[in-house]
Structure 1
């Protein structure tokens, strides 16, 4: 992953001032970051604009995700920062682990924020806000769990619905 600075310096993992290396098996933003500060306040601190990878199908998303879970957010549990942007952290009740490391029970997961949104953390709403059953595609950054991307980290999922991947 190539990072460039949109603010006064490059930033990385949650709550850090330096880039966080990404393990080779973890999904990453695409290889560039956009260098525009239009609409953003550089005096607010360092930030980066990430050009996120787009997965063509739910199967592609599943294949590239770390853990994949079925669950729902039961409450907000604070916030953290990633790439210099605020990310809302949720306490997620994990109903079923479809793939990966975490166990069923409660897990703290932060919604990956879009990073070139003019300073607003979730212009289209936080995907973990609704108290509804969802599929979460996650990745670990440092010691914290995040949805994989801002736009494709969470899919709605109703009881009795077939999974959109194998």
Structure 2
């Protein structure tokens, strides 16, 4: 189940890759607010999938591809997300409809001004498996930590 430390509107639930709460106004200077001035903030704890098969089962789209570069940014749950143009080599699940697809890396939340404390997972020139979901008409990796898996040439798929 997903939890939040500063929100009140239920949007997801057990077994989903959706957070359980959306943004609300935080109390300025409160211990739970990463934004000193208050304002809309979502502090989302994401579901942790036990296996890549679990990720595959919950994703709207699963594909093999490679980011060919950043093409902008967007905002989700009050955090900045970097958008990449992904050269899609193979679609394994779903129908994203494009060979070159715009996908944003789901940011970590409640981390202050840093959207990617461990680095942007799509900011790599390497071949990867991407587990994606559509949010507000845009594609995002499913979670900040488990939306992208390295997938070098010759590797076997970690799911069926």
Q: Does 1:87 align with 2:77?
A: no
8 Å contact 2:67–2:122 — kept in the other structure? yes
Compared with structure 1, are the counterparts of its residues 26 and 106 closer, same or farther at alpha carbon in structure 2 (3 Å cutoff)? farther
8 Å contact 2:33–2:41 — kept in the other structure? no
- TM-aligned CA deviation for residue 45 of structure 1: 4.0
Q: Structure 2, unaligned stretches of length 5 or more? A: none
**1: CA distance between counterparts of 2:119 and 2:145?**
10
Q: Structure 1, unaligned stretches of length 5 or more? A: 12-18
- TM-aligned CA deviation for residue 140 of structure 1: 0.1
Q: Report how many aligned residue pairs link the two structures.
A: 153
The equivalent residue for 1:155 is 149
Displaced runs of 4+ in structure 1, greater than 3 A? 1-6, 19-22, 35-39
Q: How does 1:88-127 map to 2 (within 5 A)?
A: 88-103=82-97, 105-127=99-121
Q: What do residues 121-153 of structure 1 show as CA deviations (whole Å, max 9, x unaligned)?
A: 101000000111000000000110000000000
The equivalent residue for 1:137 is 131
The equivalent residue for 1:76 is 70
Q: Does 1:41 align with 2:31?
A: no
TM-score of the superposed pair, with normalisation by structure 1: 0.80
| Larger RCO, structure (CA 8 Å, separation 6 or more) | 1
Question: CA RMSD for the aligned pairs?
Answer: 2.9
The equivalent residue for 1:28 is 18
- TM-aligned CA deviation for residue 119 of structure 1: 2.5
Q: Counting strand residues as a fraction of each chain, which structure ranks higher?
A: 2
**1: CA distance between counterparts of 2:5 and 2:54?**
29
